[in-house]
Structures are given as C-alpha cells and as structure tokens.
Chain A
Amino acid sequence: MFDWKLILEAIGMIIYATFVGFIFMGIERKAMARIQRRIGPPIYQPIIDTLKLLGKKESVSHGFIYDFGPIFALGASITALLFLPIANFQLFSSNADLIVVAYLLEVPMLGIMLGAMSSGNPYSAVGVQRGLLTMVAMQLPYGLALIALIQYYGSFKLSDIVALQSLHGWSILVPALLIAMVVFDIVFQAMLGLEPFDIITAPAEISMGPMVEYGGKHAALLFTQHAVQLFAETAFFAILFLGGASNLLELLVKQIAVLFIAIFIASIYPRFTIDQAAKFFWKWPTILGIIAVLLTM
C-alpha cells in the first residue's frame, strides 16, 4: 500500500537537510567571527546547542497554540524541502511548484508568530508586528523577481527551470534575470533573518523578538526548523538562479556560495528600523524588479 521507497527517501532527505542546515548555521557563526577577527565557535556548534536545549529538564508552556506554533513551522519548512528538486531527484511535484515552494518558505514565519503571540509577552507582540510588516513589504519585490523568472522560462515547474538552465546556461547569465537575482538576493537577506533586515528577532533591541518566551524543547524545535529552512532557502536560490545541480556536492558548493554572499552583507551592515525597511523594499528592489519584468516581456 505504502510507497516505502518514497517514505525512506523523504526521511533520508530530511535527515540530510537538517544536518547540512546545522552545519550552515555553524558556518554562518564561524564566518562572522572570522570577519570580526575572532576564532569563533566550532562549526558543529549549533548541533551542540540543539542537544543542550533538548536536554533541559523543564519546559514552560503557555498552552496548546504555543506548543503547536514551532511544530507547524517545522512541518511547513519540511514540506517546502520535499518539493524542491534536490540534485536530480524530486520527491513531490505539481504543475506550479515554484509558487508552492515560494509560499511554503514563508509559512514558518507565520507558525512562529502564531506561537509567539499566544505567549502574551509584549516583546513577542512587538516582534510579531515587525515580522508581519517585513513580510508584507518584501512580498512585492519577491513576487516581481519570481514573475520575471516565470515569464522568461514560461514554466512554473522547478524541474523544467533546472532542465532549461542546463540547456541554455544559468539564469544569471541573462541580463534581465541577473537583475531579478539582485532583487531576490535582497529579499533573501530578509528571509534568512540576516543583518540589514533582522528586524524580526532584533537581538538586543527588543530582547529576542518573537522567540523571547521560547526555551528548552521548544527552542530546540525552532533551531531544527531554522536549519531545515536555511537548507531549503539556499537550495531554492541555487535552483532558480544558479542552474540547479546534478549531484549533492555541486548543490552544496552552490548553496555555500549563496550563503557566503548573505554572510558578507550581514556582517558589515547595521540593522534597519522597520519603517526604513518597508520604505526600502518598496523603493529600490521594486524598481529593479519592474525593470526585470519589463525586460523579460
């Protein structure tokens, strides 16, 4: 009855993505430390952190929705992962999986906010308000970049886009799509929650934003979710603009290249305030996005 091969493949992919995602988080911390002339933590540090959080002997819960939020977020990022064509095998696909993945990558944010709101902490409330405003602001350039891609390739299927790129060269070699990539990269920074747009968690400004009440096992779940999310987002970027990959190693190299651009931007820019971020997203990335869309018409 069950398709055992599919289930095993899905489990294998989730384990691989979680592990690599944790290593990516470690690379992020290590690279930022090196940029500030520090030695920094070992690269497997996020795994230790998650283990420690799992080993806490007490967990505070504020009710059902509070527990459900992180699980919902983790589920959404795992679903997004399963729709991605990771190195020539894709577990699920639909006729419009570009749109599906693009929106599944935003659902985790909603899950975290759902849980955070039910904790009743005013810092979480401020974080949620900022998070929702960032999400609204970044939709416009994000959508424009995706429209430029879809118009150029004439397909909503990720596997088609990868196949076309392997025939005609990577997307970033096309001038219009290069502009779209710049737009996507700016939005990407906000999707990862990295520096110019890390308004949502805003460490040290509003405590920890939505995550302020999460501790123990809940925080471990959020860490795992962040790892899967990081893997899925970098893979999505590599698939859309860097021509996908035919094997895992190639994909890994491309993902790390994408990650390093994000880290370099993040470690030299200070944080925007939320009104500046909303204004910024509706100004330069939107203009560039419209140019990209017009060029692909």
Chain B
Amino acid sequence: MNNLLIWPVILPLIAGLLFILLRNHIRLQRVISVVVLAMVAGITIAIMNQISVSGIQTLQLGGWQAPFGIGLVADMFSMLLVLTTSIVAFCCVIFSFRTIGKDRERHYFYSLFLFLITGVNGSFMTGDLFNLYVFFEVLLLASYVLVSLGGTKIQLRETMKYVIINVLSSAFFLVGIAYIYSITGTLNLAHISVRIAEAGQDGFITTVAILFLLVFGIKAGLFLFYWLPGSYSAPPTAVSALFAALLTKVGIYAIIRMYTLVFYHEPQVTHLLLGILAAFTMVLGGIGAVAYSDINKILTYNVIIGAGFILAGIAAFTENGALGSIYYLIHDMIVKALIFLIGGVIVYLTGTTNLKEMSGLIRNHPYLGWMFFIGSLSLIGIPPLSGFIGKVFITRSTFEASYYWLGFIGLIASLMILYSVMKIFMNAFWGETVLSEAEEKGTTKGVMLPVVLLTALTFALGIGPEFINSYVETAVEGLMNPQIYIDAVFGGNEIP
C-alpha cells in the first residue's frame, strides 16, 4: 500500500473541478494548473525512487485485496511515462496561455486539459482491465471536447469523425473485455496473466488478443490511423501538440502492457502481426508525410510513423527491443510536442499552413529556426540527440529477431521523416524573407519558454541517457518478466 500513487490521478482531477467552481478567475486557473502539473512531476519522481529502492509499488483502492478490488500499479515503465506526460503537459499549458484565447479559456479549457491528464495518468497506472477502459473514456471525453472547443466548422467536422471512430473502438474494447472475463473470470491484469499462463493461450485467446490489437491499434494510430491526420490538425496548437504527444501513446502503452503481461505466449502469431501492422503503418505514414505540403498534415503523419516505429521494437520481443521502445516512446512524446509547438508558432506567424506560401523566417526568428532544426534532427535520430538511442536499439532488436524487413522499413521510414521535416525547414526558414516583422500575423512573445524547455530536454536525453538508464532498465526487466508484476500486485497473498 502506498497512497502516494493516487495523487498523479486525483490531483489534476481536483484542480479541474475547482476550475469549474472558479470559472472567471482565469489567472488563478493558469497558476494552479502549472503548479499542479509540477507537483505531479515531483510526486512521480518520488515514486520512481521508491520503485528503484523497493520494487513495484501498488495501491489497492478501498483496501480490498487484489484481485477483488481495483488496484493502481506503478512499475517503472508507467512512472516514466507519467513523468514525461507531466513535463509535456506542463510545456503545453504554458504555451496555451498566450495562444488559446479568452473565449476558450472561459469555456473550461484548463478544466478539460487537466481532466485529460487525469485520464492519461490513470490509464498508465491502473492494474485493472475495466478500469483501463474507464480511464480511456475519461481521456477520450475530455479530448472530444478539446477537439471541438471553439466551434469552427473544420473542428466540428473532424470531431464527428473522431467521436464516431472512438465510440466504435470503445465498443470493441468492451466486447474484448467481455470475452476476457468469460474466459478467465477476472479483470485484474495480473490475475488474467496468471489464469492464461495456467490454461495456456489457445486459438480463442489469441483471437481475443488480436481483437485488443484492433482496439488499441485504432487508439494508437497504428495502421487504422485514417481518422488521425484530420482530427489532429483541426484543434489549436496547444491541444494538437498535447494529443500528438499523449493520446496515441496511451494506446501504444496499452498494446505494450497487454502484449508483454498477458498475451506473451504465442509471439509467432500476435507479435508477428504487430510487426506487419507496424511496417504498414511506417510505410503509409511515411508516404503521407512526404506527399503533403501542409505543415499540420506533415506533422500528423510523423505521429503515425512514430507509432509504427515504437511497436516495431515490441514486435521483435527481445530485451533490446523493449529497451529501445521505452527510450523511443519517451523521446517521441517530448519531440512530438516540441515539433508541434514550433509548427504552431510558424502557422501563428505566417497565418497559413501551406508551405509554399512561406519562406525566409530564419532572418527574423533565428532561434525558432534552429530549434526546429534540432527538433527535426532529433526526430530522425541523429546521434547526439534523443531519438538516436531508441532507434539503434529497436533496429538492432529487429535484426536480432531476424525481422530484417521490419528493421529495413524502419530505416527507410527514417529517411522519409528526414525528407518531410527538412521540407518544412527549407521552405519555411530558408529563402527570401517575404514577411517583415511588422507584417507577421503574430509574435513569438511568451511562447518560446516551452519550446526552449523541450529542446533542452531532447538534448539532455540524447547526451545523458546514463542518468535515466538505470530506471529504463528496471522498466525493461519488469516488462520482460511478467512474474515481477504479478508478485507485486498480489503482494505475497494467495492467488485464488
């Protein structure tokens, strides 16, 4: 029992609820949301230190022993993600102060923002399948409102698509839970894992595993990503950066959790399928990123490539693969937020998303330009930056598992990313300066702090992976040995 675990989930919730009561105190809301996200980050670091000292921490809500109650489980993998979530959310909320506008702020923007964080943190930390569904719904409902908030025509159209596809996938999720419950008679993830390990993973359970892959694949933007480019380019920058950094990652987290903890008995079927889907995702995402000359579209297709690449590491199902996936997941959350925020600033300055109508921003905004350059290099995986180490481990693991085609496609996809982001850099920043400072549609005043913060972070993560390496290795150990997780959840009690 460790009550510290509940705070990353309920602290944003309480703050969000208070904001509804204090609707007109915008300034207070801004201060509180920053403070809350910083506090969540601090608490997460405290929990991570506890984990590295005394193993996986659990909290059984209401004191009911697992598997009868609902539990929160904090292993190193989920806490690393919660920490990254808080950092990214911190940057996005600071970015939104200047860009989101009075109207949205008055209509509960900060409440919804924090409810989204509640859902994301809850999904990362829960140890119960049905609770995972509930937290998914918490974050999805908040995201439905955040996509549509503002009520422009394009937002409403994309919200319709987004809501319909997510309602459909949530229904499939429920069907999958019903199947799991009828097979194993339990909903606790650790207990499901024990039951399936006892009975063996037969064809039916493998089919259910593929059903879950379908569900989380839709949420993660894996292969079934056709809803994603539209709905991620509709909302304002602060929101779309948050979505790109967090929402698909929750789906990826769920796939990794399910496929390492529960359905790990038939990797030649399930993990191969995962690999094939990841390959298709990377190829199609890459084609999309190369094809468009619209900043928002290029960036959203890069989100899709990222999802495919992370899951390639899990498909290989080796220790190196898991290590690479975790590094790449953390890197991807940070750098996607960075690149979306800078993309937003570019659109904000020029007033257009079309690359062909902008040029020469580097003359007036050298810092912005070079930070975009650093972000792009990091996205591709150039050595001193954070994308490199994950990419190396994932590629190595695919070769180790003799999925040569998968590693090869990953590298090709990297080239496509390179081409697509360099296209943005060269078109937007190089060339003749067509806009003088006075003609620009907006300023970079007040939005540079989060961008600088994220750039520094991607640098730090690339140069000093030793600082977090011990944490990541603990996380890999937990992922590759489900027994550690199961033992922590049951805490020495008899498994019924």
Task: Answer yes or no: do A and B interact.
Answer: no
B interface residues with partner A (beta carbon < 8 Å):
none
